[in-house]
Amino acid sequence: MAKKLAEWQNEGVDEIIDRALDAVGPRLKRLRTQGEITLTALAGQTGISASTLSRLEAGLRRPTLEQLLPLARAYGVTLDELVDAPATGDPRINLRPIAGQDGSTVLPLTRRPGGVQAYKFVLPAGSGDREPRLRTHEGHDWVYVLNGRLRLVLGEHDLVLEPGEAAEFDTRTPHWFGAAGSGPVEFLSLIGRQGERAHLRATPSGPAGEDRRG
């Protein structure tokens, strides 16, 4: 009897997940059309092919976490909003780490609709030694290093940020992050739509325009 009850409970959970995933497609299409974003432009922002994006919107393919994260960032919404997770009324944020295929970990720190979204990133040791794969997307980013050393490639600049240092930039500028040195790096990222910026600004520690390379 207990085994049968567990099967019924699992079936109910699966049905809830299925309904949530089935509703993602129309929501993705609505967000894109409201933002007047083409599939080609969104593909460039997220690294997901236009054909895959089209299938996701049409409900012909179910999204993975690796696909939902860049889509949430591109639209400036949280993952909960993207999958329409039910509100709990609890002010505490349920931190659900998302593991990337490259060994990175992302923790969404906000869940409010629109505005600036906060994330904590943990990049593995050695990631800063890889060949940078620069990307661009609409928006504004502010990063603050908590632990380790962050390599930030921003356009023609190759910078290394130490703990306590911050950077702010237009995400339409090609950019890439990696862990510099022998250990991992932890940093906060505040990402907003174009024109929305964090209130804090970085103060250059050296002469204007000078790069510091690791």
Ordered by where they begin, the domains of the chain are: 2-83 (1.10.260.40), 98-192 (2.60.120.10)
Residue type, 28: L
Most confident listed range (8-12, 26-30, 92-96, 182-186): 182-186
Contact of 176 with 153, CB cutoff 8 Å? yes
- pLDDT at res. 165: 95
Nearest to 184 by CA among 143, 123, 131, 130: 123
> What's the whole-model pTM score?
0.53
Residue-wise pLDDT for 132-168, tens only, equals: 989 888 888 999 999 999 999 999 999 999 999 999 9
Q: Which range among 135-144, 170-179, 194-203 shows the weakest confidence by mean pLDDT?
A: 194-203
Alpha helix (H) residue ranges in the chain: 2-22, 24-34, 39-46, 50-57, 65-75, 79-83
